Amino acid sequence: MDVRHLASALGLMFGSFALISAAAAPAPGDAANGKRLFMGDRCYACHGTQGAGGGIAGPRLAPNPLPFQGFLMQLRHPANRMPPYSGKVLSDAEAADIYAYLKSIPRGRPAGQIPLLNRPSKPRREGHAPP
């Protein structure tokens, strides 16, 4: 393959990637309304109020949620026990609001910055349960 063909192929590949990325970007959402919807539609019951998920309930959604198109696909056609949220139940604009709320949730502090997790532990006496 000569240099011109290689340059054309790379240009086509990167141009396609840019179009796909633009199509996958959500419409700007309203994080405050998204939080209201997240709590009002009881998403928090499985995913936690901060989207951390856990246990046998829903998976972690935040921080760093799935790309918007994956998030929307999971809402519309869930893979597991989650009920589907059709466009009649939750519009794309409302989904974008919830997504904006999830994106607004900051990362937690690293364990090294949490004093309680960094206290020296007291040695346990053999045969005694911890207090």
**pLDDT tens-digit map of 66-106:** 999 999 999 999 988 899 999 999 999 999 999 999 999 99
Report the domain count for the chain.
1
CATH code of 96's domain? 1.10.760.10
Distance CA 5, CA 10 (A): 9
Q: Is residue 84 part of a domain?
A: yes
Q: Is residue 73 part of a domain?
A: yes
In sequence order, what are the residues at sequence separation of 6 or more whose Cβ sits closer than 8 angstroms to the Cβ of residue 48? 54, 58
Q: Is residue 36 part of a domain?
A: yes
Q: Name residue, tokens 């046998």.
A: 56
Q: Residue 80 sits in which domain range?
A: 26-107
Q: Is residue 117 part of a domain?
A: no
Q: Is residue 89 part of a domain?
A: yes
Name residue 6's amino acid: L
At residue 125, φ and ψ (nearest 5 deg) are -85, 135
The answer to whether the CB of 102 falls within 8 A of the CB of 65 is yes
**pLDDT tens-digit map of 16-69:** 444 444 445 556 899 999 999 999 999 999 999 999 987 677 899 998 899 999
* pLDDT the model gives residue 26: 53
Q: Is residue 122 part of a domain?
A: no
15-51 as b/e: b if 16+ CB within 10 A:
eeeeeeeeeeebeebbbebbbebbeeeebeebbbebb
pLDDT at 129 exceeding the cut of 80: no
Work out the number of other CB atoms within 10 angstroms of the CB of residue 3.
7
| 109 confidence band (pLDDT: 50, 70, 90) | confident
DSSP class of residue 90 equals S
* pLDDT the model gives residue 19: 43
Q: Is residue 100 part of a domain?
A: yes
Q: Is residue 52 part of a domain?
A: yes
